[in-house]
Amino acid sequence: MRLGLTVPQFGPFADPALVPTMTAEAEALGFESLWAGERVHAATDPITPYPGGTMPEQFHRGLDPMLVLALAAHATAHARLGTSTLNAPLHPPIHLARSLAGLDQLSRGRVIAGFGLSWSRDEYDAVAVPWRERGARLDETLDVLAALWADDPVQHSGEFWTISPGDFQPKPAQQHLPIYLGGLSPAALHRIGRRADGWLGVALPPEALRDVLARIDDQARAAGRGPIATALRINAKIQPTPTDAPGTGPVEQLADYLHEVAELGVADAFVDLQLTTSTPAELLDLAAEIRNAFRP
């Protein structure tokens, strides 16, 4: 299993000047992928509650994911560059297609496009996109990306967007830019099995994770497709006391969890240390400790 790290982006790490040096150091430490998330709006009194409680204070200050991944692409040579996640319905898909194709060209074919729906109704209101349309808009976004990244002339006619025949250049560097989708609902797992190259997973207990992976495989087989890859996100909270929560506890516990999920066939896992550190030196020291503790 390949191990990755999130790009400095939120809270005290929301400084573009930090990205090149920290991502270059992460690659030098042996991290094989770098990931960026997205927060369009951090509402003071949110309409929909943050999953699991209160939104972390760090998310009230953040950089655009495409900005930080472009900086990371320029500073690194080999690490894959993924989004976990871009909330696709909040963006016109032709803009997503252009940005992701450009990033893939810049990085010489290292991009993984990871999409989600966002839990925040405030974000949908902020960009004037109806909340009730989010699933349908994600489906059509996938259609638009497939059309624009295919051979010219391109065109699309759908419920939400119409693109007249024309040229779309440059295409992504990869012949097939992989698309990963997040989510745990039955509708999300059905969409992943039918349409995605991979699942943007979350740090569930191993047995629960095994069950989700089996359900995704069932959906893929029902759609006549092969196995779906997984990139597992772990929002780490490193502390001396062990817990039952994956990612919360000592580094040794995190390393044990990484070995457990590797045995389940997870291809990629990546760790976010921005919620458990507050300085670049602290983050990189902890990243090195985790990298040394986990050896496939």
Check whether 192 has a pLDDT greater than 90: yes
CA distance 235 to 146: 31
CA distance 220 to 226: 6
- In degrees and rounded to multiples of 5, residue 150 shows phi and psi of -85, -175
Region 48-73 average pLDDT = 93
Region 247-260 average pLDDT = 97
**Does the pTM exceed 0.75?**
yes
Check whether 296 has a pLDDT greater than 80: no
* Percent with pLDDT over 90 in the chain: 97
Confidence of residue 8 (pLDDT cuts 50, 70, 90): very high
Per-chain mean pLDDT for the chain: 97
- Nearest CA-CA partner of 18 in 75, 59, 58: 75
Check whether 171 has a pLDDT greater than 80: yes
Provide CB contacts within 8 A for 286, sequence distance 6+.
238, 251, 273, 276, 277
- The confidence score (pLDDT) of residue 52 equals 79
Helix ranges restricted to H, the chain: 18-29, 65-75, 93-106, 121-126, 134-148, 186-195, 206-222, 251-263, 280-293
Tokens of 67: 């900005």
Q: The domain containing residue 279 runs over which residues?
A: 2-293
Question: What is the number of domains present in the chain?
Answer: 1
Q: Burial of 135 by CB count in 10 Å (0-12 exposed, 13-18 middle, 19+ buried)?
A: middle
- Strands 2-6 and 33-36: what pairing? parallel
**Segment 179-188, tens digit of pLDDT:** 999 999 999 9
Q: Please give the C-alpha separations between residue 138 and each of 96, 133, 186, 198, 249, in angstroms, as whole numbers.
A: 12, 9, 15, 15, 36
- The confidence score (pLDDT) of residue 53 equals 84
CATH code (residue 276): 3.20.20.30
How many beta carbons lie within 10 A of that of residue 179, not counting itself? 20
